[in-house]
Amino acid sequence: MSKTDSPSVFRLGTRGSALALWQANWTQTTLEASLDGTRIDIVRIKTTGDRIQDVPLAEVGGKGLFTKELDQALFDDRIDMAVHSLKDLPFELPEGIVLSAIGEREDPRDALVSDHRSLADMPEGARIGTSSLRRGSQLRARFPGLDVVMLRGNVDTRLRKLDEGEFDGIILAAAGLKRLGFGDRITELIAPDVMLPAIGQGALAFVCREADASARDALQVVNHPDTHSAVTSERALMASLEGSCQVPVAGYAQVEDGTIRLRGLIAALDGSRIVADQISGSTEDAASLGTELGVRLRAAGGDAILKEIGH
């Protein structure tokens, strides 16, 4: 795309956290380098999720708390596009807003930060901080002797609380730690077989108004086809399971030579039951594979878990 067939300026909306600003700055640099004559102006927007830090997201409305103000800014024509951590993006977007592009995935795994070498090394009763029901349920299932404690806040806030001795270890997304330069703090990269990642974890989501062809075209610069296929299957799984912050659902797809391998999981909140399965197929069938795996998980006992949780 050249300057002649795109606006000279796009307004990019973002949250104000350090990680969100890293994502916005990366997007700005990449788009400006790729689109001749185009300028990207970063617009910071405070979200409800940023303001409420002392309550689990599951109790106050879920992941939409990190996106609805940015959605409104798009509707109000205060911004032209927005960048999110894809795992924060609800599976159902407001009418008129589209997921236009998905950026290349960083490390999708969860990471332990601790003075102990690994989760298996943790002493009985060790306090592990996480804000995620998905992480908490898998921790309780595999390491029942650990004390899983709610921990919210930005990456630097969580690391500070660990350093002040409030926790023996905390679980964070490896991608966020690496992007912010905290990769050396990682004690253990947790294998997906031990803790299946969140849907979309490590990938970036770029949204814009559906009617804004210029923004949609510009964002194709940052779209990564294999990641797009993988996340499409994961989000179809999430939609099939009606996944949200209130449900411990995990999904992780890998793409190789046009083939997707998708793993999915539903867990009881206390970790007493986990239903897991996987499916493989062509990237052309990404969405239908996710839907089919969701049907399988429900039939294998996931429905009973969802009903207990209230879904």
Q: In the numeric block, which tokens belong to residue 252?
A: 């992780």
Q: Are 278 and 171 in the same domain?
A: no
Q: Are 81 and 217 in the same domain?
A: yes
Predicted local confidence at residue 2, as pLDDT: 39
Q: Are 99 and 208 in the same domain?
A: yes
Q: Are 115 and 101 in the same domain?
A: no
Predicted local confidence at residue 52, as pLDDT: 44
Q: Are 94 and 12 in the same domain?
A: yes
pLDDT in tens, the chain (311 residues): 333 355 589 999 999 989 999 999 999 999 999 999 999 999 999 866 554 444 444 444 445 566 889 999 999 999 999 999 998 888 889 999 999 999 999 999 999 999 999 999 999 999 999 989 999 999 999 999 999 999 988 899 999 999 999 999 999 999 999 999 999 999 999 999 999 999 999 999 999 999 999 999 999 999 999 999 999 999 999 999 875 557 899 999 999 999 999 999 999 999 999 999 999 999 999 999 999 999 999 999 999 999 888 75
Q: Are 114 and 96 in the same domain?
A: no
State the catalytic residue, choosing from 80, 88, 110, 212.
Answer: 88
Q: Are 67 and 100 in the same domain?
A: yes
- The secondary structure of 269-291 as a DSSP string is TTSS-EEEEEEEEEGGGHHHHHH
> How many folded domains does the chain comprise?
3
Q: Are 267 and 219 in the same domain?
A: no
Q: Are 282 and 154 in the same domain?
A: no
Structural domain for 295, as ranges = 234-309
Asked whether residue 197 is domain-assigned, the answer is no
CATH number for the domain spanning 39: value is 3.40.190.10
Compute CA 39 distance to the chain's CA centroid, rounded to the nearest angstrom: 27
Q: Are 91 and 153 in the same domain?
A: no
Q: In the chain, where does DSSP find H-type helix?
A: 18-34, 48-51, 57-60, 68-75, 133-142, 155-163, 174-179, 213-219, 225-240, 286-297, 303-309
Q: Does residue 88 have an active-site annotation? A: yes
Predicted local confidence at residue 245, as pLDDT: 56
Length of the chain: 311
* pTM reported for the whole predicted model: 0.88
Predicted local confidence at residue 88, as pLDDT: 86
Predicted local confidence at residue 244, as pLDDT: 53
Asked whether residue 69 is domain-assigned, the answer is yes
Asked whether residue 138 is domain-assigned, the answer is yes
Q: Are 138 and 245 in the same domain?
A: no
Predicted local confidence at residue 243, as pLDDT: 59
CATH number for the domain spanning 260: value is 3.30.160.40
Q: Are 178 and 299 in the same domain?
A: no
Asked whether residue 277 is domain-assigned, the answer is yes
Asked whether residue 261 is domain-assigned, the answer is yes
| CA contacts within 13 A on the Cβ side of 111 | 22
What's the CA gap between 53 and 4, in Å, rounded?
45
Asked whether residue 161 is domain-assigned, the answer is yes
Identity of residue 307: K
